A and B are shown apart, each in its own frame.
Chain A
Protein backbone atom coordinates (compact mmCIF):
# COMPACT_ATOMS: atom_id res chain seq x y z
CA UNK A 1 0.00 0.00 0.00
CA UNK A 2 1.39 3.39 -0.89
CA UNK A 3 1.46 6.30 1.47
CA UNK A 4 -0.19 8.61 2.20
CA UNK A 5 -3.54 6.91 2.58
CA UNK A 6 -6.47 9.04 1.41
CA UNK A 7 -8.34 10.46 4.39
CA UNK A 8 -11.65 10.02 2.58
CA UNK A 9 -11.17 6.26 2.13
CA UNK A 10 -12.52 3.70 4.57
CA UNK A 11 -8.97 2.97 5.67
CA UNK A 12 -8.56 6.70 6.29
CA UNK A 13 -11.59 6.76 8.56
CA UNK A 14 -10.36 3.72 10.48
CA UNK A 15 -7.01 5.44 10.93
CA UNK A 16 -8.81 8.57 12.16
CA UNK A 17 -10.41 6.43 14.87
CA UNK A 18 -7.04 4.93 15.83
CA UNK A 19 -5.21 8.26 15.86
CA UNK A 20 -8.08 9.98 17.70
CA UNK A 21 -8.13 7.28 20.37
CA UNK A 22 -4.36 7.53 20.88
CA UNK A 23 -4.58 11.32 21.07
CA UNK A 24 -7.43 11.14 23.61
CA UNK A 25 -5.59 8.62 25.80
CA UNK A 26 -2.43 10.77 25.70
CA UNK A 27 -4.32 13.96 26.61
CA UNK A 28 -6.00 12.22 29.53
CA UNK A 29 -2.85 10.50 30.83
CA UNK A 30 -1.03 13.82 30.47
CA UNK A 31 -3.66 15.33 32.84
CA UNK A 32 -4.40 18.11 30.35
CA UNK A 33 -8.07 17.11 30.38
CA UNK A 34 -8.17 18.70 33.85
CA UNK A 35 -9.28 22.29 34.17
CA UNK A 36 -6.93 23.09 37.08
CA UNK A 37 -3.88 21.75 35.25
CA UNK A 38 -4.49 23.96 32.22
CA UNK A 39 -5.32 27.14 34.13
CA UNK A 40 -2.42 26.66 36.53
CA UNK A 41 -0.01 26.73 33.59
CA UNK A 42 -0.85 30.40 33.16
CA UNK A 43 -0.34 30.96 36.89
CA UNK A 44 3.02 29.13 36.84
CA UNK A 45 1.69 26.74 39.48
CA UNK A 46 1.74 23.63 37.33
CA UNK A 47 3.94 23.33 34.27
CA UNK A 48 2.55 19.99 33.07
CA UNK A 49 1.11 21.52 29.90
CA UNK A 50 4.41 23.21 29.05
CA UNK A 51 6.31 19.95 29.52
CA UNK A 52 3.87 18.00 27.37
CA UNK A 53 3.85 20.60 24.61
CA UNK A 54 7.56 21.31 24.42
CA UNK A 55 8.40 17.61 24.43
CA UNK A 56 5.83 17.00 21.69
CA UNK A 57 7.24 19.85 19.61
CA UNK A 58 10.87 18.73 19.90
CA UNK A 59 10.22 15.00 19.42
CA UNK A 60 7.62 15.57 16.71
CA UNK A 61 9.56 18.30 14.97
CA UNK A 62 12.88 16.49 14.74
CA UNK A 63 11.13 13.40 13.37
CA UNK A 64 9.08 15.30 10.83
CA UNK A 65 12.17 17.28 9.81
CA UNK A 66 14.12 14.03 9.30
CA UNK A 67 11.29 12.40 7.34
CA UNK A 68 11.00 15.47 5.16
CA UNK A 69 14.68 15.30 4.30
CA UNK A 70 14.45 11.60 3.55
CA UNK A 71 11.75 12.47 1.05
CA UNK A 72 9.06 10.50 2.91
CA UNK A 73 6.62 13.40 3.19
CA UNK A 74 4.82 15.25 0.44
CA UNK A 75 5.41 18.72 1.83
CA UNK A 76 4.91 21.05 4.75
CA UNK A 77 1.49 21.97 6.11
CA UNK A 78 2.11 25.57 7.02
CA UNK A 79 -0.67 27.98 7.95
CA UNK A 80 -0.66 31.52 6.60
CA UNK A 81 1.18 34.06 8.72
CA UNK A 82 -1.46 36.80 8.78
CA UNK A 83 0.20 38.81 11.50
CA UNK A 84 -2.74 40.98 12.63
CA UNK A 85 -5.15 38.02 12.65
CA UNK A 86 -2.60 35.91 14.57
CA UNK A 87 -2.14 38.58 17.22
CA UNK A 88 -5.88 39.22 17.66
CA UNK A 89 -6.73 35.53 17.38
CA UNK A 90 -3.95 34.47 19.74
CA UNK A 91 -5.02 37.07 22.31
CA UNK A 92 -8.67 35.98 22.18
CA UNK A 93 -7.56 32.36 22.35
CA UNK A 94 -5.52 33.04 25.50
CA UNK A 95 -8.46 34.78 27.19
CA UNK A 96 -10.87 32.04 26.12
CA UNK A 97 -8.52 29.25 27.20
CA UNK A 98 -8.32 30.57 30.78
CA UNK A 99 -12.05 31.30 31.02
CA UNK A 100 -13.08 27.94 29.53
CA UNK A 101 -10.14 26.13 31.11
CA UNK A 102 -9.49 24.07 28.02
CA UNK A 103 -8.39 24.42 24.44
CA UNK A 104 -10.52 22.89 21.68
CA UNK A 105 -8.85 19.46 21.70
CA UNK A 106 -8.59 19.09 25.46
CA UNK A 107 -12.15 20.41 25.87
CA UNK A 108 -13.52 17.71 23.56
CA UNK A 109 -11.48 15.11 25.43
CA UNK A 110 -12.53 16.43 28.86
CA UNK A 111 -16.23 16.02 28.07
CA UNK A 112 -15.77 12.26 28.04
CA UNK A 113 -13.88 12.32 31.33
CA UNK A 114 -17.00 13.71 33.03
CA UNK A 115 -16.44 17.47 32.83
CA UNK A 116 -19.90 18.96 32.41
CA UNK A 117 -18.59 22.50 32.06
CA UNK A 118 -16.37 21.26 29.21
CA UNK A 119 -19.57 20.16 27.47
CA UNK A 120 -21.22 23.55 28.01
CA UNK A 121 -18.06 25.21 26.69
CA UNK A 122 -18.19 22.94 23.64
CA UNK A 123 -21.57 24.48 22.79
CA UNK A 124 -19.91 27.84 23.37
CA UNK A 125 -17.25 26.87 20.83
CA UNK A 126 -19.95 25.98 18.31
CA UNK A 127 -21.52 29.40 18.92
CA UNK A 128 -18.10 31.02 18.48
CA UNK A 129 -17.74 29.30 15.12
CA UNK A 130 -21.11 30.68 14.03
CA UNK A 131 -20.13 34.20 15.03
CA UNK A 132 -16.85 33.76 13.16
CA UNK A 133 -18.55 32.68 9.94
CA UNK A 134 -20.90 35.66 10.06
CA UNK A 135 -18.07 38.12 10.65
CA UNK A 136 -15.77 36.40 8.13
CA UNK A 137 -16.60 38.69 5.15
CA UNK A 138 -15.72 41.73 7.26
CA UNK A 139 -12.55 40.09 8.61
CA UNK A 140 -11.47 39.17 5.09
CA UNK A 141 -11.65 42.80 4.09
CA UNK A 142 -10.14 44.42 7.16
CA UNK A 143 -8.06 41.95 9.17
CA UNK A 144 -6.90 38.80 7.40
CA UNK A 145 -4.81 40.60 4.79
CA UNK A 146 -2.96 42.86 7.24
CA UNK A 147 0.66 41.76 7.58
CA UNK A 148 0.09 38.69 5.43
CA UNK A 149 3.49 37.03 5.08
CA UNK A 150 2.20 33.82 3.51
CA UNK A 151 3.08 30.25 4.43
CA UNK A 152 6.52 31.04 5.76
CA UNK A 153 8.78 29.05 8.05
CA UNK A 154 11.33 30.37 10.55
CA UNK A 155 14.16 29.33 8.23
CA UNK A 156 12.63 31.44 5.42
CA UNK A 157 12.47 34.67 7.37
CA UNK A 158 15.63 34.33 9.47
CA UNK A 159 17.87 32.50 6.98
CA UNK A 160 18.94 30.30 9.87
CA UNK A 161 18.65 26.68 8.67
CA UNK A 162 16.25 24.18 10.24
CA UNK A 163 19.02 22.06 11.67
CA UNK A 164 20.33 25.03 13.68
CA UNK A 165 16.81 25.82 14.96
CA UNK A 166 16.41 22.23 16.10
CA UNK A 167 19.81 22.13 17.78
CA UNK A 168 18.99 25.29 19.75
CA UNK A 169 15.42 24.22 20.55
CA UNK A 170 16.40 20.71 21.66
CA UNK A 171 19.24 21.89 23.88
CA UNK A 172 17.20 24.83 25.21
CA UNK A 173 14.23 22.67 26.10
CA UNK A 174 16.44 20.01 27.70
CA UNK A 175 18.17 22.64 29.86
CA UNK A 176 14.82 24.20 30.78
CA UNK A 177 13.43 20.83 31.89
CA UNK A 178 16.57 20.06 33.90
CA UNK A 179 16.32 23.38 35.63
CA UNK A 180 12.59 22.94 36.32
CA UNK A 181 13.16 19.52 37.84
CA UNK A 182 15.93 20.98 39.98
CA UNK A 183 14.01 23.87 41.44
CA UNK A 184 10.91 21.71 41.77
CA UNK A 185 8.47 24.51 41.10
CA UNK A 186 6.80 22.20 38.66
CA UNK A 187 5.32 20.29 41.59
CA UNK A 188 1.54 20.12 41.37
CA UNK A 189 -0.28 22.15 43.95
CA UNK A 190 -3.58 20.32 43.98
Chain B
Protein backbone atom coordinates (compact mmCIF):
# COMPACT_ATOMS: atom_id res chain seq x y z
CA UNK B 1 0.00 0.00 0.00
CA UNK B 2 1.33 3.38 -0.94
CA UNK B 3 1.80 5.66 1.99
CA UNK B 4 -0.88 8.20 1.24
CA UNK B 5 -0.26 11.83 1.84
CA UNK B 6 -3.73 12.74 2.97
CA UNK B 7 -4.21 16.38 2.23
CA UNK B 8 -7.95 16.30 1.62
CA UNK B 9 -10.71 15.47 4.05
CA UNK B 10 -12.96 14.08 1.34
CA UNK B 11 -14.93 10.89 1.98
CA UNK B 12 -13.35 9.61 -1.23
CA UNK B 13 -9.88 9.83 0.28
CA UNK B 14 -8.53 6.48 1.48
CA UNK B 15 -7.41 8.08 4.74
CA UNK B 16 -7.08 11.40 6.53
CA UNK B 17 -4.25 12.84 8.57
CA UNK B 18 -4.23 11.14 12.00
CA UNK B 19 -4.14 14.59 13.61
CA UNK B 20 -7.30 15.62 11.75
CA UNK B 21 -8.99 12.37 12.76
CA UNK B 22 -7.92 12.81 16.38
CA UNK B 23 -9.21 16.38 16.41
CA UNK B 24 -12.46 15.11 14.87
CA UNK B 25 -12.88 12.52 17.64
CA UNK B 26 -12.12 15.23 20.20
CA UNK B 27 -14.81 17.51 18.70
CA UNK B 28 -17.23 14.58 18.58
CA UNK B 29 -16.65 14.02 22.29
CA UNK B 30 -17.60 17.68 22.99
CA UNK B 31 -20.82 17.21 21.07
CA UNK B 32 -21.69 13.94 22.77
CA UNK B 33 -21.00 15.33 26.25
CA UNK B 34 -22.97 18.48 25.54
CA UNK B 35 -25.94 17.11 23.63
CA UNK B 36 -26.64 13.76 25.31
CA UNK B 37 -24.49 14.03 28.46
CA UNK B 38 -22.85 10.70 27.80
CA UNK B 39 -19.26 9.68 27.17
CA UNK B 40 -18.30 7.67 24.07
CA UNK B 41 -18.26 3.97 24.91
CA UNK B 42 -18.49 0.54 23.36
CA UNK B 43 -17.65 -2.40 25.63
CA UNK B 44 -20.65 -2.12 27.99
CA UNK B 45 -22.92 -2.49 24.98
CA UNK B 46 -21.04 -5.59 23.77
CA UNK B 47 -21.48 -7.19 27.20
CA UNK B 48 -25.22 -6.60 26.75
CA UNK B 49 -25.01 -8.61 23.52
CA UNK B 50 -23.41 -11.30 25.72
CA UNK B 51 -26.46 -11.16 27.96
CA UNK B 52 -28.77 -11.58 24.98
CA UNK B 53 -26.75 -14.56 23.74
CA UNK B 54 -26.93 -16.10 27.21
CA UNK B 55 -30.68 -15.60 27.42
CA UNK B 56 -31.06 -17.66 24.25
CA UNK B 57 -29.57 -20.58 26.16
CA UNK B 58 -30.89 -20.02 29.68
CA UNK B 59 -34.03 -17.94 29.15
CA UNK B 60 -34.38 -14.25 30.04
CA UNK B 61 -35.24 -14.71 33.73
CA UNK B 62 -32.17 -16.75 34.53
CA UNK B 63 -29.93 -14.37 32.60
CA UNK B 64 -31.10 -11.25 34.46
CA UNK B 65 -30.75 -13.12 37.76
CA UNK B 66 -26.98 -12.91 37.20
CA UNK B 67 -25.74 -9.97 39.30
CA UNK B 68 -23.78 -8.46 36.40
CA UNK B 69 -26.72 -8.41 34.01
CA UNK B 70 -29.06 -7.37 36.82
CA UNK B 71 -26.90 -4.22 36.95
CA UNK B 72 -26.18 -3.95 33.20
CA UNK B 73 -29.45 -5.29 31.83
CA UNK B 74 -29.47 -5.83 28.06
CA UNK B 75 -31.89 -3.51 26.30
CA UNK B 76 -32.11 -1.92 22.89
CA UNK B 77 -31.24 1.75 23.21
CA UNK B 78 -28.87 4.62 22.48
CA UNK B 79 -25.71 2.53 22.77
CA UNK B 80 -27.07 -0.24 20.55
CA UNK B 81 -27.79 2.28 17.80
CA UNK B 82 -24.40 3.93 18.34
CA UNK B 83 -22.62 0.56 17.94
CA UNK B 84 -24.51 -0.40 14.78
CA UNK B 85 -23.92 2.98 13.18
CA UNK B 86 -20.24 2.95 14.08
CA UNK B 87 -20.00 -0.11 11.85
CA UNK B 88 -22.17 1.49 9.15
CA UNK B 89 -20.11 4.69 9.19
CA UNK B 90 -16.86 2.75 8.85
CA UNK B 91 -18.31 0.57 6.09
CA UNK B 92 -19.57 3.53 4.06
CA UNK B 93 -16.27 5.33 4.56
CA UNK B 94 -14.33 2.25 3.38
CA UNK B 95 -16.55 1.84 0.31
CA UNK B 96 -16.29 5.50 -0.66
CA UNK B 97 -12.58 5.62 0.05
CA UNK B 98 -11.92 2.43 -1.90
CA UNK B 99 -10.39 0.61 1.07
CA UNK B 100 -13.13 -2.00 1.54
CA UNK B 101 -11.77 -5.49 1.06
CA UNK B 102 -12.53 -8.90 2.46
CA UNK B 103 -9.69 -9.88 4.73
CA UNK B 104 -9.27 -13.26 6.38
CA UNK B 105 -5.61 -13.12 7.34
CA UNK B 106 -3.89 -9.73 7.60
CA UNK B 107 -0.43 -9.30 6.04
CA UNK B 108 1.42 -8.78 9.31
CA UNK B 109 -0.12 -11.89 10.84
CA UNK B 110 0.64 -14.11 7.81
CA UNK B 111 4.25 -12.89 7.70
CA UNK B 112 4.77 -14.27 11.19
CA UNK B 113 2.21 -17.02 11.61
CA UNK B 114 1.45 -18.26 8.11
CA UNK B 115 -1.51 -17.92 5.81
CA UNK B 116 -3.71 -20.44 7.63
CA UNK B 117 -7.20 -19.08 8.11
CA UNK B 118 -8.16 -21.35 11.03
CA UNK B 119 -5.17 -20.24 13.09
CA UNK B 120 -5.89 -16.55 12.54
CA UNK B 121 -9.59 -16.96 13.28
CA UNK B 122 -8.83 -18.88 16.49
CA UNK B 123 -6.45 -16.11 17.58
CA UNK B 124 -9.04 -13.44 16.79
CA UNK B 125 -11.71 -15.29 18.77
CA UNK B 126 -9.53 -15.88 21.81
CA UNK B 127 -8.12 -12.35 21.55
CA UNK B 128 -11.62 -10.89 21.44
CA UNK B 129 -12.58 -12.92 24.47
CA UNK B 130 -9.60 -11.78 26.54
CA UNK B 131 -10.11 -8.21 25.30
CA UNK B 132 -13.70 -7.87 26.42
CA UNK B 133 -13.08 -9.67 29.69
CA UNK B 134 -10.32 -7.16 30.41
CA UNK B 135 -12.48 -4.24 29.36
CA UNK B 136 -15.29 -5.25 31.69
CA UNK B 137 -12.90 -5.87 34.54
CA UNK B 138 -11.38 -2.42 34.08
CA UNK B 139 -14.81 -0.85 33.53
CA UNK B 140 -14.18 0.42 30.01
CA UNK B 141 -12.27 0.07 26.76
CA UNK B 142 -10.28 2.31 24.43
CA UNK B 143 -13.38 4.47 23.95
CA UNK B 144 -14.77 4.63 27.49
CA UNK B 145 -11.43 4.79 29.29
CA UNK B 146 -8.91 5.50 26.51
CA UNK B 147 -10.65 8.57 25.14
CA UNK B 148 -13.64 9.61 27.25
CA UNK B 149 -11.99 8.88 30.59
CA UNK B 150 -8.49 10.17 29.92
CA UNK B 151 -9.87 13.43 28.54
CA UNK B 152 -11.67 14.01 31.84
CA UNK B 153 -8.36 13.34 33.59
CA UNK B 154 -9.81 10.31 35.38
CA UNK B 155 -7.24 8.44 37.47
CA UNK B 156 -8.80 5.09 36.50
CA UNK B 157 -8.45 5.78 32.79
CA UNK B 158 -4.81 6.87 32.90
CA UNK B 159 -3.92 3.73 34.90
CA UNK B 160 -5.77 1.61 32.35
CA UNK B 161 -4.09 3.36 29.41
CA UNK B 162 -0.58 2.87 30.86
CA UNK B 163 -1.10 -0.80 31.75
CA UNK B 164 -2.71 -1.74 28.43
CA UNK B 165 0.11 -0.06 26.53
CA UNK B 166 2.79 -1.92 28.50
CA UNK B 167 1.00 -5.27 28.18
CA UNK B 168 0.50 -4.69 24.46
CA UNK B 169 4.20 -4.00 23.90
CA UNK B 170 5.21 -7.21 25.71
CA UNK B 171 2.60 -9.27 23.84
CA UNK B 172 3.65 -7.85 20.47
CA UNK B 173 7.30 -8.70 21.22
CA UNK B 174 6.38 -12.30 21.98
CA UNK B 175 3.95 -12.71 19.11
CA UNK B 176 5.84 -10.93 16.32
CA UNK B 177 9.49 -11.62 17.03
CA UNK B 178 10.43 -13.48 13.85
CA UNK B 179 13.54 -11.60 12.68
CA UNK B 180 13.36 -13.01 9.14
CA UNK B 181 10.45 -10.88 8.12
CA UNK B 182 10.68 -7.28 7.12
CA UNK B 183 7.23 -6.48 8.47
A→B interface (CB under 8 Å): 3-5, 7-8, 12-13, 15-31, 33-36, 39-43, 48, 51-61, 63-64, 67, 72-74, 76-83, 85-118, 120-134, 136-137, 139-140, 143, 149, 151-157, 162, 165, 177, 187-190
Distance (whole angstroms) from the CB of B159 to the closest CB of chain A: 5
The reply to whether A35 and B109 form a contact with Cβ atoms under 8 Å apart is yes
Contacts of A42 in B (CB 8 A): 165, 168-169, 171-172
Judged by DSSP, the binding face of A is helix
Contacts of A22 in B (CB 8 A): 24, 28, 89
Candidates B15, B40, B89, B138; contact of A93 at CB < 8 Å: B138
The reply to whether A115 and B103 form a contact with Cβ atoms under 8 Å apart is yes
Interface size on B, residues (CB 8 A): 130
Chain A proximity mask over B47-69: 1 for CB below 8 Å, otherwise 0: 11111011000000000001111
Contacts of B125 in A (CB 8 A): 120-121, 123-124, 127
A92–B9 Cα distance when bound, in Å, is: 36
Contacts of B22 in A (CB 8 A): 30, 51-56, 59
Distance (whole angstroms) from the CB of A139 to the closest CB of chain B: 7
Count of A-B contacts with CB under 8 A?
508
B→A interface (CB under 8 Å): 1, 3, 9, 11, 13, 15-16, 18-19, 21-40, 42-43, 46-51, 53-54, 66-69, 77-94, 97, 99-109, 120-121, 123-173, 175-176, 182-183
Q: In the complex, which residue of chain B has the Cβ closest to the Cβ of A136?
A: B68
